[in-house]
Structure 1
Amino acid sequence: MSKLSNVKGRIGYISDPKRQEHLYATFTTREDISFWNDLAKECQEEFRHYETEGKCIEARELIIALPEEYTQFDPKQVLEEFTTQFKKRYDVECVLALHHNKTKKNLHIHLIFSERRPLSEPEVKIASRSVFYDELGKRVRTKKEITGEDGKIREGCTAIKRSEAYESHLFSVKDEVFKSEAFLDESKQFYTALINRHIHEPEHKLQVFNPNSVYLPTKKIGKNNPKAAEIEADNAARQDWNRTADMALVSGIEESMIIKIRNEHVYDEATRSVQKHGWLPGLFRGIIQKAKEILMGLIRETEVPPKHILSVDMMEYRKMQKLMVKVQDEARAVKQLMHVELPKLEKQLSEITGLFKGKERKALTEKIEQTQQEIDRRMDRLPGILKADGYPDVQAFKRLYDDATLLVEQYNRDLAAWERQVRGEKQPQQAPPEKESVWKKLRDLEAEAKHRNDTRRQQTRPRSHDYDRGR
Structure 2
Amino acid sequence: MTRHSFIQMSKLSNVRGRISYITSHAKQENLYATYRTADHSFWSNLARESQQEFQRSGAEGKCIEARELIIALPEAYTQYEPQQVLEDFTEEFRRRYDVECVSALHHNKRKTNYHIHLIFSERRLLAEPEVKIATRSVFFDETGKRVRTKKEITGEDGQIRKGCAVIPKGGIYEQHLFTVKDGRFKSEPFLEEVKRNYTALINRHIADPEQHLRVFNPDSIYLPTKKIGKNNPKAAEIEADNAARQEWNRTADMALVSGIAEAKILEVKKEEIHQKASQSIKAHGWLPNLFRSIVNKAKEFLQNLIRQTELPPKPVLNLDMSEFRTMQKLMIRVQDRAREIRSLQEEVPKLKTQLAETKGIFKGRERKELEVKIRRTEEKISAMLEELPEILKEDGYPDVWAFMATYRKVEAVVEQYNRDLAEWERTVREKRRPAEKERHAPPEKESVRDQLRRLQAEGRTQKPKRKTHDMER
Asked if Structure 1 and Structure 2 have the same fold, meaning a TM-score greater than 0.5 normalized by the shorter chain, the answer is yes
> 2:422 aligned with 1:416, yes or no?
yes
Worse overlay, 125-134 or 428-437 = 125-134
- How far 1:114 sits from its partner (Å)? 0.6
> Which residue is equivalent to 1:463?
none
Contact 1:213 1:395 survives alignment (8 Å)? no
Pair 1:239-2:250 in alignment: no
The counterpart of 1:442, out of the listed 449, 452, 455, is 452
Tell me how far apart the structure 2 counterparts of residues 391 and 171 of structure 1 sit (CA, whole Å): 49
Output the CA distance in 2 between the equivalents of 1:140 and 1:237: 56
Q: Distance in 2 between matches of 1:326 and 1:22?
A: 47
Say if 1:163 and 1:327 are closer, same or farther in 2 by CA, change over 3 A: same
CA distance in 1, matches of 2:136, 2:254: 75
Instruction: Work out the number of aligned pairs and report it.
Output: 459
2: CA distance, partners of 1:264 / 1:102: 41
Q: Is 1:404 aligned with 2:414? A: no
Structure 1 residues 275-317: Cα deviation after superposition (integer angstroms, max 9, x where no partner): 4444433233222222222221222233433432333343433
Q: By how many angstroms is 1:417 displaced?
A: 3.5
Q: 1:27 aligns with which of 35, 59, 65?
A: 35
Moved more, 386-395 or 8-17: 386-395
Distance 2:327 2:349 in 1: 34
Answer yes or no: is the 8 Å Cα contact 2:76–2:206 preserved in 1.
yes
Kindly report which structure 2 residues correspond to 1:264-275, keeping only aligned pairs within 5 A, or say none.
264-275=271-282
- Tell me how far apart the structure 1 counterparts of residues 132 and 223 of structure 2 sit (CA, whole Å): 53
The whole-number CA distance in structure 1 between the counterparts of 2:281 and 2:470 is 22
Letter in 2 for 1:437: S
Q: Counterpart of 1:430? A: 440
Q: Which residue of 2 aligns with 1:186?
A: 193
Relative to 1, partners in 2 of residues 1:126 and 1:100: Cα closer, same or farther, differing over 3 Å? same
Letter in 2 for 1:374: K
8 A Cα contact 1:96 1:112, kept in partner: yes
1:461 corresponding residue in structure 2: none
| Structure 1 range deviating more: 81-90 or 132-141 | 132-141
Q: Choose the corresponding residue for 1:42, options 38, 42, 49.
A: 49
Q: Is the 8 A contact 1:208 1:469 kept in 2?
A: no
- 1:299–1:423 CA distance, 2 compared to 1 (3 A): same
What is residue 375 of structure 1 aligned with on the other side? 381
Give the corresponding residue for 1:5. Answer: 13
Q: Which residue of 2 aligns with 1:214?
A: 221
Q: Distance in 2 between matches of 1:55 and 1:19?
A: 25
- Contact 2:215/2:463 (<8 A) preserved: no
Residue by residue over 1:192-246, the C-alpha shift from the partner in whole angstroms, topping out at 9 and shown as x without a partner, is 2222333344453333332332223333444554444333322222221111010
Instruction: Return the match for 2:308 from 301, 308, 312.
Output: 301
Find the counterpart in structure 2 of residue 18 from structure 1: 26
What is the CA–CA distance in structure 2 between the aligned matches of 1:141 and 1:273, rounded to whole Å? 48
Query: Structure 1 residues 388 and 184, CA, compared in 2 at 3 Å: closer, same or farther?
Result: farther
8 Å contact from structure 1 (residues 418, 428) kept in 2:
no
Select the structure with the greater relative contact order (CA < 8 A; seq sep ≥ 6): 2
Quote the Cα distance in structure 1 between the aligned partners of 2:283 and 2:152. 52
Q: Deviations over 1:159-215 (max 9, x none)?
A: 333223222222111111111122112212222222233334445333333233222
Contact 2:101–2:118 (8 Å) recurs in 1: yes
Structure 2 CA distance for partners of 1:235 and 1:126, relative to 1, 3 Å: same
Question: Aligned to 2:443, what secondary structure does the other structure show?
Answer: coil
Q: Does 1:291 align with 2:298?
A: yes
CA distance 1:258–1:145, shift in 2 (3 Å): closer
Post-superposition CA distance 1:314-363 (Å, at most 9, x none)? 343334334323322332232233224x4566567667777677666555
| Matched residue type, 1:309 | V
Q: Which residue of 1 is the match for residue 126 of structure 2?
A: 119
CA distance in structure 2 between the aligned counterparts of 1:269 and 1:12, rounded to whole angstroms: 43
Mapped pair 1:254 → 2:261:
yes
The verdict on how the C-alpha distance between 1:71 and 1:344 changes in structure 2, with shifts beyond 3 A counting, is: farther
How far does residue 6 in structure 1 lie from its aligned partner after superposition? 0.6
Superposed CA offset, 1:108-137 (max 9, x none): 222111111112222222222232334433
Q: CA deviation at 1:86?
A: 0.7
Displacement of 1:469 after TM fit? 8.3
**Equivalent residues of 2:123, 2:178 under 8 A apart:** yes
Tell me, yes or no, if the aligned pair for 2:108 and 2:114 is still in contact at 8 Å. Answer: yes
Please give the residue correspondences for 1:134-173 in structure 2 after superposition, counting only pairs within 5 Å.
134-143=141-150, 156-173=163-180
Partners of 2:405 and 2:384 in 1: how far apart? 22
Aligned pair partner of 2:331 in 299, 307, 324 = 324
* Change over 3 Å in CA distance of 1:77–1:333 after alignment to 2: farther
Conservation of the 8 A alpha-carbon contact between 1:203 and 1:384: no
Q: Distance in 2 between matches of 1:134 and 1:348?
A: 76
- Corresponding residue for residue 460 of structure 1: none
Cα distance in 2 between the residues matched to 1:36 and 1:51: 23
- The aligned amino acid for 2:450 is K
Query: TM-score scaled to structure 2, two decimals?
Result: 0.85
- Residue in 1 that maps onto 2:3: none
Q: Which residue of 2 aligns with 1:63?
A: 70
Task: Say whether the 8 Å CA contact 2:319–2:325 is kept in structure 1.
Answer: no
Secondary structure of the equivalent of 1:177? helix
Name the SS of the counterpart of 1:289 in structure 2.
helix
Give distance in 2, aligned partners of 1:144 and 1:305.
Answer: 83
CA distance in 1, matches of 2:105, 2:396: 28
For the Cα contact (< 8 Å) 2:72–2:113, is it kept in 1? yes
- SS for the counterpart of 1:89 is helix
User: What is the Cα deviation at residue 93 of structure 1?
Assistant: 0.8
Per-residue CA deviation, residues 264-283 of structure 1 (Å, 9 max, x unaligned), is 32233334444444443323
How far apart, in 2, do the equivalents of 1:136 and 1:346 lie? 66
- Aligned-pair identity in percent equals 63
Q: TM-score, with normalisation over the residues of structure 1? A: 0.86
Q: 1:107 to 1:374 in 2, by over 3 A?
A: farther
Amino acid in the other structure paired with 1:406: A
Distance 1:307 1:352, change over 3 A: same
The CA deviation at 1:250 is 0.7
Partner residue, 1:462: none
Q: Say whether residues 1:52 and 2:59 are aligned partners.
A: yes
CA distance in 2, matches of 1:136, 1:171: 22
Unaligned runs of 5+ in 2: 1-8
CA shift for structure 1 position 35: 1.4
